[in-house]
Amino acid sequence: FPHDSSLSLVRLHQVYEILQNVEAYQKEHKLNSMPIMLCGDWNGSKRGHVYKFLRSQGFVSSYDTAHQYADADAHRWISHRNHLGNICGVDFIWLLNPNRDRKLLKTSWNEAVFSMFKSLLQKASLTESDAFAFLKADSDGDYITYSGFCGALRQLQLAGRPYGLSETEIKDLWVQADMDGNGVVDYNEFQQQIWNLTKSEESKHGGENSSNEIRNTVQTIGFSVRNAVLFPTEVEKGKWPESYSLSDHARLTVVFSPVRMPCSQLINDEEKRCHSL
């Protein structure tokens, strides 16, 4: 992944493609009830868009799980000192058990892009009302047009560049924002689908399980996190030892144990939702 913070969309898009390929492989080989592990240097901390994107898909950081750290505990540990001398935690062994609720992958992707969109607007010191005015551009009415939306994405460097959003991805975002499908986005839609999207999606996602969705329950295997350690040990306290020169990354080791869990197959998109024992 590129280090430049201006290329956050590239990193996010690469992770999206990884999950798309994993999902396609699962469907092709009928492995929906299997646990998934993703390992590596993700070039993003717990405060970044990639971390939040993976969390929205149900993945958990095995190191944080072992030490009972929350998402907000972004400075408890580090795993990398970059060429500028900055220290951060970027190395993860992600675990997704089949007992985790999962949003549709495209839903998580749209949320992540809109979250990045909002962050860039806030970085420009725009308030909610200022951001709406910026998106309206030269609109004749009190609404956002598709051309104004595309123009804003280009100005924020999320589109119009070799690594920017594709035309199809932009249209998908627009369809989500234009709730009533009338071709424009009013202030209410802007609030719900762009500015406060993550909160509203979390609310909807939390209550989407209903009894008539469940078709049957099968036994499957998942993993529990027994232990996780970083070496050298100083990094577990958020410090990088000056004497350590083997690598600019710490070594992350995690011990897992297999566990049985019931998995309920849902009617919706043949996804699996499981309820841990």
Tokens, residue 198:
């993550």
Label residue 219 by pLDDT band (50, 70, 90).
confident
Average pLDDT, the chain: 88
Interatomic CA distance for residues 158 and 151, integer angstroms = 10
- Judge contact between 117 and 68, C-beta under 8 A: no
Single out the residue in 190, 206, 222 at which a domain terminates.
206
Are residues 216 and 90 both part of a single domain? yes
Give per-residue pLDDT as tens, 40-72. Answer: 999 888 999 999 999 999 999 999 999 999 999
Residue range 148-153: average pLDDT? 96
How high is the pLDDT of residue 273? 47
Give per-residue pLDDT as tens, 178-205. Answer: 999 999 999 999 999 999 976 555 444 4
Domain that holds residue 165: 106-206
Are residues 173 and 224 both part of a single domain? no
Are residues 177 and 221 both part of a single domain? no
Task: Name the domain count of the chain.
Answer: 2
DSSP codes joined into one string, 193-248:
IIITHHHHHHHHHHT---GGGEEEEEEEEEEEEEEEEEESGGGGGT---TT--S-S
Are residues 89 and 218 both part of a single domain? yes
Single out the residue in 206, 228, 247 at which a domain terminates.
206
pLDDT of 105 higher than 80: yes
pLDDT of 216 higher than 90: no
Interatomic CA distance for residues 198 and 210, integer angstroms = 22
Are residues 39 and 114 both part of a single domain? no
Label residue 165 by pLDDT band (50, 70, 90).
very high
Please, which residues have CB within 8 angstroms of residue 182's CB and are 6 or more apart in sequence?
none
Give per-residue pLDDT as tens, 5-35. Answer: 678 999 999 999 999 999 999 999 988 788 9
Q: For helices 197-206 and 105-123, what crossing angle results, to 10°? A: 150
How high is the pLDDT of residue 2? 58
Single out the residue in 206, 232, 252 at which a domain terminates.
206
